[in-house]
Amino acid sequence: MQSLTCAPSCTSLHSSAIRGGQTPRDTARWTQATSTSHCSRHARRRVLQRVQAMQSGKGGTRQQDDSGSPAAGLGSGGAQPPPAAAPPLLSTSTVDDGNEGGNGASPSSSGSKAPTGEGSNDGWPSWLSKSDVETVAIAVAVSYAIRLVIAEPRFIPSLSMFPTFDVGDRLVAEKLTYRFSRPPSTGDVIIFRPQRGVGRDSSWLDDNVFIKRIVAVAGDSVEVRGGKLVVNGLPRTETYINEAPSYVLQRLVVPEGHVFVMGDNRNNSYDSHIWGPLPVENIIGRACWKYWPPQKWGGLEDWSDVSKLTGAAASLTTENASALPVAPPLK
């Protein structure tokens, strides 16, 4: 519409030029130059007016459509649609990965994640992290599984196993040997739960567990006489005990499925010589390692070879027998 404004002036100039006697070609050239100069002034004036209108906030802007043609703005009398609202900014914490095709924003109107405090919807306290709770729970479960199946730590509360263990010593009891390798044998130091009626009853807060040494297994005969432990008629030479027993135990045979246990501190031990043989099913594990105090760090000596306990006694008996005088032959 604005481009048609300068057309009458250009037409009048063209008519006057023809009446002045100029040739049509000269007249066309002069008309084109004059029209171009005249229209350029009008165009510059319109551009200046639009710039002033844009600066004052009252004018419209010329926009380009898809075809490249200019679109009239507000300054030309056309109604311009209001600008579309900018899309809300999405935070990385509010993206819903599982909502395919959606906008991925949280229900919050502000577009930000709701605080997880005591007043949050899930009720989880702000000072406690769920990942930390999961880590602690897994660690506790693994630790309990190891303690239940593989090994567990124990401490010594009394002097019944002195001098092998002192009060306050700490040890590791393993549980794999008796399950996969061999049954309990003579010389093993074991931890176990005593029979009902022996000592105090166990509870969740007070675990009633004993520690003793196996001195005889099922089928062996056991007796204590003359300050010696006698098993199957042979006295034992035990270098690990504190002192020789001062009591007498009448001969008995260990029943099937049981073991006979005694403390290394024989005169200060509540063991099988008082309450009888121990069921094998009550055994928890075998003591194998001492880790506290540091100066006692190391494994326990293996006394499962019975020949170590009876070899000295047998050799002494043989020497005494050879030293006896030979009886004269009968006539």
pLDDT of amino acid 67: 45
Q: Which two tokens stand for residue 145?
A: 């599984």
**pLDDT band of 66, cuts 50, 70, 90:** very low
| Annotation marks residue 130 as catalytic | no
Q: Which two tokens stand for residue 249?
A: 């135990």
Which segment of 84-88, 128-132, 139-143, 273-277 scores lowest on mean pLDDT? 84-88
pLDDT of amino acid 197: 81
* Better-predicted residue by pLDDT, 265 or 125: 265
Residue 320 has pLDDT above 60, yes or no: no
Find which of 66-75, 93-102, 269-278 is predicted with most confidence, using mean pLDDT: 269-278
pLDDT of amino acid 274: 95
299 and 164 Cβ atoms separated by less than 8 Å:
no
| Annotation marks residue 212 as catalytic | yes
Catalytic residue among 58, 109, 160, 203: 160
Q: Is the pTM of this model over 0.85?
A: no
How many Å is the maximal CA-CA distance in the chain? 190
Catalytic residue among 175, 212, 269, 272: 212
Mean of the pLDDT values across residues 94-116? 45
Give the SS3 label for residue 203. Answer: coil
CA distance 178 to 218: 15
Mean per-residue pLDDT of the chain = 75
pLDDT of amino acid 25: 60
- DSSP track, 257-318: TEEEEE-SSGGG--SHHHH--EEGGGEEEEEEEEEESGGG-EEPPP---THHHHHHHHHHHH
Beta strands in the chain (DSSP E): 63-64, 70-71, 151-155, 170-174, 189-192, 210-216, 221-225, 228-231, 234-235, 249-253, 258-262, 278-279, 283-292, 298-299
190 and 184 Cβ atoms separated by less than 8 Å:
yes
- How confident is the model over 166-189, as pLDDT tens digits? 999 999 999 999 999 999 999 999
Find the radius of gyration of the CA atoms of the chain: 53
